[in-house]
């Protein structure tokens, strides 16, 4: 059961983040008789709770995001995983080889291993209508939600590789795709620009910012645009609004140096272990090709099983006579 008042502070493994990756890792760890604690800042489920309908998770032709979150949480708890609601401030490896996980509520937990599944945060426009129509027209994932907009008009906002590439991808669903960028020049690679701009379904709109997302009972219906040069305002009809202006992995919780790419995404080996021994990562904050529920739970499965082996090796090392190679 989810519990805020647990007095226990020492575990075999602590899982930071309660999205699909964290819940899967907790389920596998508990099933493997590993004493596991999962710490999630809100209700377990992560981005699942912000997703209205999921149609690309095997075994469920269609399921509400919140329902899948409940099922995953119940599955982890069934095998004995402990879940607490708190926000992790820091993860640090100590001199004795164990980890300290410190939280905003003033708790300090210790464990031999940590699985970091805290994901990342898509950058928001911060405009009226964005929050109101999230999951009802507004999305941050083309692969996740593109199929919901078959034969509709779609607007993509952004100027980097992700925006340009996803605009091209969304043409398989939408009858028309607008690519809106606040500047004249795009940051995306020349190859992606050439491929996308030559797609007859795509219309590029330059030097415009989105001031508001409009909608009604059925969801988003259009955008209010402002010209960055003239200040002139205009309206654009679109029922799908995909925002790709950046994504920040939540890897800043780690204290100490670790291997990562230029964007802050963590680099792991094939066992999901980071460059800090005993610290594993799974899901959206890891360097990988795509970020889906299926890839998150795949990472988490590997990480949880690898933790079991890591703990066994650690125990064997501790029992070995001094000087044993």
Q: Which positions are annotated as active-site residues?
A: 141, 144-145
Closest Cα to residue 235, out of 244, 224, 248, 246? Answer: 224
CB–CB of 69/27 below 8 Å?
A: no
Sheet containing 219-227, strands listed edge to edge, beginning at the edge strand earlier in sequence: 208-216, 219-227, 233-237
CB–CB of 113/281 below 8 Å?
A: no
For the chain, the farthest-separated pair of C-alpha atoms sits apart, in whole angstroms, at: 77
Contacts of 173 (CB under 8 A, 6+ apart): 146, 147, 149, 150, 151, 152, 154
- The four Cα atoms 85, 91, 93, 98 give a dihedral, to 10 degrees, of 0
CB–CB of 91/258 below 8 Å?
A: no
CB–CB of 185/209 below 8 Å?
A: no
């Amino acid at each position: 059961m989810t519990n805020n008042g647990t007095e226990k502070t020492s575990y075999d493994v602590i899982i930071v983040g309660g999205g699909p990756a964290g819940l899967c890792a907790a389920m596998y760890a508990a099933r493997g008789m590993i004493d596991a604690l999962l710490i999630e800042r809100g209700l377990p489920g992560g981005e699942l709770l912000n997703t209205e309908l999921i149609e690309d998770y095997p075994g469920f032709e269609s399921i509400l995001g919140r329902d899948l979150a409940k099922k995953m949480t119940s599955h982890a708890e069934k095998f004995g995983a402990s879940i607490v609601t708190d926000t992790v401030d820091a993860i640090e490896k100590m001199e004795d080889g164990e980890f300290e996980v410190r939280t905003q509520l003033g708790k300090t937990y210790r464990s031999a291993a940590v699985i970091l599944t805290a994901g990342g945060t898509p950058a928001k426009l911060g405009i009226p209508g964005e929050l109101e129509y999230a999951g009802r027209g507004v999305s941050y994932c083309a692969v996740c939600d593109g199929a919901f907009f078959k034969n509709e008009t779609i607007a993509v906002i952004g100027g980097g590789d992700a925006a340009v590439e996803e605009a091209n991808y969304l043409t398989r669903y939408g009858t028309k795709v607008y690519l809106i960028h606040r500047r004249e020049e795009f940051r995306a690679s020349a190859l992606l620009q050439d491929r996308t701009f030559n797609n007859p379904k795509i219309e590029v709109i330059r030097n415009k910012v989105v001031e508001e997302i409009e909608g009604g009972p059925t969801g988003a219906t259009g955008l209010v645009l402002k010209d960055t040069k003239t200040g002139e305002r205009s309206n654009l009809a679109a029922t799908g609004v995909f925002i790709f202006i950046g994504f920040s992995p939540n890897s800043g919780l780690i204290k100490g140096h670790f291997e990562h790419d230029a964007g802050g995404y963590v680099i792991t080996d094939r066992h999901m272990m980071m460059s800090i021994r005993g610290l594993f990562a799974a899901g959206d904050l890891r360097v990988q090709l795509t970020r889906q529920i299926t890839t998150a739970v795949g990472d988490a499965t590997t990480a949880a099983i690898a933790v079991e082996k890591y703990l066994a090796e650690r125990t064997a090392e501790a029992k070995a006579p001094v000087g044993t190679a």
